[in-house]
A = this chain, B = another copy of it.
Amino acid sequence: MNGTDIVLDKTDLSILRLMQENARMTNADLARELEMAPSAVLERVKKLEQKQVIVKYTTRISPVALGQTLLAFIAMKSSEGMGSNNTAKELAKIPEVQEVHHIAGDDCYMVKVRTADSASLMELMRNKFSKIQNITSTRTTIVLETVKEEQQLVIPEK
Contacts and interface: CB of A to CB of B under 8 A. Distances in A.
A154 B58 CA distance: 14
B58 A54 contact: no
Interface residues of A, number: 61
Contact of A58 (B20, B88, B114): B20
A44 B66 CA distance: 16
Interface string A36-68: 000000000000000111111111111101101
Interface of A: 6, 8, 16, 19-24, 51-63, 65-66, 68, 71, 73, 85, 88-89, 91-92, 95-105, 110, 114, 141-156
A153 B114 contact: yes
